[in-house]
Amino acid sequence: MKITIHLIIVFIMSSMISTKANASTRPHPSGNNNDFEVLMQKIRIDFAKNPSIDEDLKKYNEADGSFTDVDYSSIQRTNWPPLEHIDRLYNFVFAYTNPNNKYYKDEDLFTKIEQGLEYWHKRNPWCHNWWYNQIAEPQRLGILLIQMRTGEKQLNRELENKILERIKTDGGNPAKWTGANRTDISLHWIYRACLSENEADLKFALENVYNSIVYTTKEGFQHDNSYFQHGQQLYIGGYGDEILKGVTQIAMYAKGTQYAIPQDKLALLSKFMRETYYSTIRGQFMLFDVLGRGVSRPGTTKKTHTALFAKRMVELDPAHADEFKEIIARLDGKQPANYALTAKHTHYFRGDYTLHVRPTYTFDVRMTSNRTARCEYGNGENLKTYFMSDGCTNIVVDGNEYDEIFPVWNWTRIPGTTAPQVDEIPMAASDWQTLGTSTFAGGVSDSLYGVSAYSYTDSYAGINTSARKAWFFFNDEIVCLGAGIHSTSSYPIFTTINQCLSSTENAIVCQKGKVSAINEGISDYSSPEWILHNKVGYILPDGQQVIATNQVQTGSWYDINHSTSKDITQKKVFTLCLNHGITPERATYAYIVVPGIQSPEEMKSYRRKNNLEILVNTENVQVVRNKKDDIWQMVFYDAGEFTNKDMTVKTSKGCALIIKNMDKNKAEVHIADPAQSRSDITVNICTGKRSGTVNCDFSNSDIYAGRTQAFEIRLK
């Protein structure tokens, strides 16, 4: 019965390849119809193509099987030139095996494929970036060999075995790696195991794939549902893309076989994808600060291709199929960016990252502490990233507000950051894993609202700047506060509110009740009331010096990534900054971001509601109250006390608080420790003659030391 079922599966898969991929599916001469062949048929479907190879054939060297334009001696770490040899042979194989290609069954092409593989094996090019040797090359070779098994003529066994042995020898052991790298190496183990019908290697590879789907304190999925790679570095995009691509790909291959993904692993994967990964994508674009060094690569913020991962999950996780279909509709552009989004707020206490999602907008904050690594700049990529980890924010409504802006960005003015306007961006002490220095970086969340705080201090490379920064998140707005801003840098200190692509519609400013357009160029405003640009309003409390620029900026991708083009790029950019001057002492700032505002009339209407109170903004305490929803949000950087009218809150240590649903008898309190000090925090609330106290015990919290705890305080 088992053999019969497999024969039926192979017949169905063969038919699918014929109709979908237009490729020959003649089985390997062994005729062994088993799980190995089932997996290989699925792999063929996954990579089926009908390539045009005429131009590459012109560069083929008949004498030895090389290509005349490939530098086989190159060891460069990105865009490694010798890999072009494999890519061209890969296309030759798909042309040779595709009935719709003019080179189908072409004997001369078959000879070129064999000769090209012999040349590669003999020459054995080597890259100084291990990724090409252990992932890119062996993966392509494995797929090439699997597809070639369907050819009219077969590669001679000696050649195929030599290549398989090279893949095994040079491709590495997945068990020695973590996260996405483990999965990527496991992939070519699967290809090789199927080709050699090695059940032990296949099981070993799949175990390593599935073993990476686990919460860990090392690289991989974190206990807060974020993702780390390259040490304690947030990498929801980039390496997050890679592990999702690999795991969902392998899970689809194994679906319906004895090697199917275990249900508990599938549940973890689905949770990460739905609640974190796709939540950082607004419409078709990913938030730039979760991409790691990949932010410096052209096209990397646009994530339409990741709809493939969601399409796989529709089949793998039918319980959440509707949710994945909604994600696909947004990525495919068939539905707007806000389609089927629901309100949520998450602070990722392991990743020092906050994500605030509303149907109207998405807003995030990336911080770094002595527990997490700064955004990296390895392999000559992301060369101006230094300030990106220091309270960086994304403000997106449609999702494309920062699309391809990065070559022309002023990288001292990353949205959300407070930084000296240096002439040259410094490089972190290490290109790969430089930890932050803050001991107080975190946030509290009740799943809908939250407050995040960052005690920023940087004495590296002459930065010499510090600030107490906090973000207060509500339904319609985010309140951004800064206090205790101090610097001995010789450069002016700016807090950047936003730096995004300029809208085709005029930006508008309101000063002393008068509304006017912001002209092109640079404009200085003293105490403007509000500014509106591209569906986002910015309310500015009195007494602040605002610089607005609305102008064409130039740069090149090469400026931030030495593996890209030096061609000059131009884009019109809108920037809002607060100027704290040179060597500020205890300076402050405050601004309120109100996304989703379409017109000056809506802006005026919002302000008339007057729903918010900024009650305290000092280097010790920052407090905001939403009067409409009666939500109090507070940051205490040390033990402290806050009083407003008949209400007093005392804390025994620094903490972040949400107080809501308060009446004369009780209050709901959410508490988090941004210092992750693993000790008790006592909070006392007094209203009139009634008071209540809660002791929040973080002493045994271990890896959950930064997670929010919720209490109901009885007021007596």
Q: Please identify every residue annotated as catalytic.
A: 230, 239, 293
Tokens of 164: 């398989």
- Beta bridge partners of residue 443, listed in sequence order: 452
Contact 664, 690 (CB under 8 A): yes
Residue that the structure tokens 């986002």 belong to: 536
Tokens of 76: 């460069």
Distance in angstroms (rounded) separating the CA atoms of residues 445 and 346: 6
- Count the Cβ atoms, other than its own, within 10 Å of residue 521: 9
Query: DSSP labels for 225-257?
Result: S-EE-SSS-B-TTTHHHHHHHHHHHHHHHHTTS
CA dihedral 379, 385, 391, 396 (to 10 degrees): -100
Burial of 172 (0-12, 13-18, 19+ CB in 10 A): buried
Tokens of 486: 């101090």
Contact 464, 456 (CB under 8 A): no
Side chain identity at residue 178, one-letter code: T
Distance in angstroms (rounded) separating the CA atoms of residues 406 and 237: 16
Contact 619, 654 (CB under 8 A): no
Distance in angstroms (rounded) separating the CA atoms of residues 541 and 187: 55
Q: What is the CA radius of gyration of the chain?
A: 28
> Given strand 536-539, what is the order of strands in its sheet?
441-445, 450-458, 465-473, 478-487, 587-595, 536-539, 530-533, 508-511, 514-517
Distance in angstroms (rounded) separating the CA atoms of residues 516 and 508: 6
442, HSE (Cβ side, Cα atoms, 13 Å)? 28
Contact 553, 573 (CB under 8 A): yes
Chain centre distance of CA 372: 15
Contacts of 626 (CB under 8 A, 6+ apart): 474, 611, 612, 633
Tokens of 372: 């997490």
Contacts of 414 (CB under 8 A, 6+ apart): 387, 388, 392, 496, 499
Distance in angstroms (rounded) separating the CA atoms of residues 232 and 375: 10
Contacts of 329 (CB under 8 A, 6+ apart): 335, 339, 340
Burial of 231 (0-12, 13-18, 19+ CB in 10 A): middle
Tokens of 716: 């007596």
Distance in angstroms (rounded) separating the CA atoms of residues 140 and 296: 25
77, HSE (Cβ side, Cα atoms, 13 Å)? 9
Nearest to 282 by CA among 301, 267, 269, 300: 301
Residue that the structure tokens 């070639």 belong to: 148
